[in-house]
Amino acid sequence: MTKSILKVLAGEALDRPPVWLMRQAGRYLPEYRQVRSTAKNFIDFCLTPDKATEVTLQPIRRFGFDGSILFADILLIPMTLGRNVWFVAGEGPKLDPLAADDIASLEIGDVEGILGPVGQTVANLSVALPDKTTLIGFAGSPWTVATYMIEGGGSKDRWNSRRLYWEHPAAMERLLDLIADATIRYLVMQANAGAEVLKLFDSWAEGLPPPMFEDVVIRPTRRIVEGLRAAGVTCPIIGFPKGAGPNYVAYAEQTGVTALALDHGLNTQWALDNLPKNMPLQGQLDPAVLRAGGDALDREIERIISAFRGRPHIFNLGHGITPDVPIDHVEQLVRKVRGE
């Protein structure tokens, strides 16, 4: 029996789309918060296979999603380049800011050793998940990871990163290539451990002029896809250049990804009219309407399912689920998507 998500990623349009949610393992679940409280810090949480396996399985037990995405974080890769990463409660990720002069000395370390616990988590999940559930591995895309490294954390406009690109293009190119090459090794490990789909998150792809988008988003993403294929990884790859707007077209045509995840701000009809007709799409419910619930949630779910009917589509959010979402709203979403 072929799993529903794999059917869609192979180009099949189903009567009702399969469903999973970005960040479906997370703080909105009390069982997640309980396990999280037993870890000394967030990095330790991600790199403890028993804990990471448990929280990945929790939403599958509770909701029966069609896909299960590995619990980890996109900012594990900087550790393989010798950079410090830590998380501050209420503030998010922190890194030692990276300047252009620092980039020449960066080297890729023992990816498989440093991130080996993630591979073990994937191996655990490949055995523990129900037969119908697709196991999804992931990594952050190079531009997004690079912005965190340069800014020292999250940033509203990625000013230092954009400026470094224009002032020191060779340094930026080297940084993106290093991240891409470390990511290839990381994702090969995940695929070898049992991941059936891989996803690349470019959370900060918004607001880039087309030439820069080509250099910092498309080129390193293509490098990863080609590197994975050269290493013998054949599983589908979903790309998510959040906020890319019209740049989604070039991303779809030039990166080599199998499918596109669409953010909730992208015009649905524009996507249907302009993206490749045979490309599977994923998305694009606004996380705020999931928080709102009620009739508004039902209407938006039906609008999205109706819009994508007749083409390969995986139902998902346009970004991650928020910690304040009531559990009964998620239950409502699953029932509605499945037509129950």
| Prediction pTM value | 0.97
Catalytic residue among 23, 158, 162, 185: 23
Q: Among the listed ranges 39-43, 87-91, 95-99, 217-221, which one has the minimum average pLDDT value?
A: 87-91
Reply yes or no on whether the pLDDT at 194 is more than 90. Answer: yes
Catalytic residue among 28, 32, 148, 165: 148
**Annotation marks residue 23 as catalytic:** yes
Reply yes or no on whether the pLDDT at 54 is more than 90. Answer: yes
How much is the average pLDDT of 206-235?
97
**Annotation marks residue 27 as catalytic:** yes
pLDDT of residue 235: 98
Per-residue pLDDT of 304-318, as tens digits, reads 999 999 999 999 999
| Mean pLDDT of the residues in the chain | 97
How much is the average pLDDT of 144-172?
97
**Annotation marks residue 36 as catalytic:** yes
How much is the average pLDDT of 218-247?
98
Per-residue pLDDT of 96-105, as tens digits, reads 999 999 999 9
**Annotation marks residue 148 as catalytic:** yes
pLDDT of residue 156: 87
Per-residue pLDDT of 256-304, as tens digits, reads 999 999 999 999 999 999 999 999 999 999 999 999 999 999 999 999 9
What domains can be seen in the chain, in order of their start residue?
Answer: 4-338 (3.20.20.210)
Catalytic residue among 16, 36, 62, 83: 36
> Using 50, 70 and 90 to split pLDDT, how confident is the model at 90?
confident
Per-residue pLDDT of 127-155, as tens digits, reads 999 999 999 999 999 999 999 999 999 99
Per-residue pLDDT of 24-38, as tens digits, reads 999 999 999 999 999
Q: What is the 3-state secondary structure (H, E, C) of the chain?
A: CCCHHHHHHCCCCCCCCCECCCCCCCCCCHHHHHHHCCCCCHHHHHCCHHHHHHHHHHHHHHHCCCEEECCCCHHHHHHHCCCCEEEECCCEEEECCCCHHHHCCCCCCCHHHHCHHHHHHHHHHHHHCCCCCEEEEEEECHHHHHHHHHHCECCCCCHHHHHHHHHCHHHHHHHHHHHHHHHHHHHHHHHHHCCCEEEEEECCCCCCCHHHHHHHHHHHHHHHHHHHHHCCCCCCEEEEECCCCCHHHHHHHHCCCCEEECCCCCCHHHHHHHCCCCCCEECCECHHHHHHCHHHHHHHHHHHHHHHCCCCEEECECCCCCCCCCHHHHHHHHHHHHCC
> Using 50, 70 and 90 to split pLDDT, how confident is the model at 1?
confident
| Phi, psi torsion values for 254, nearest 5 degrees | -115, -15
pLDDT of residue 63: 98
pLDDT of residue 91: 86
pLDDT of residue 15: 95
Catalytic residue among 28, 66, 73, 165: 73
Percent of the chain with pLDDT over 90: 98
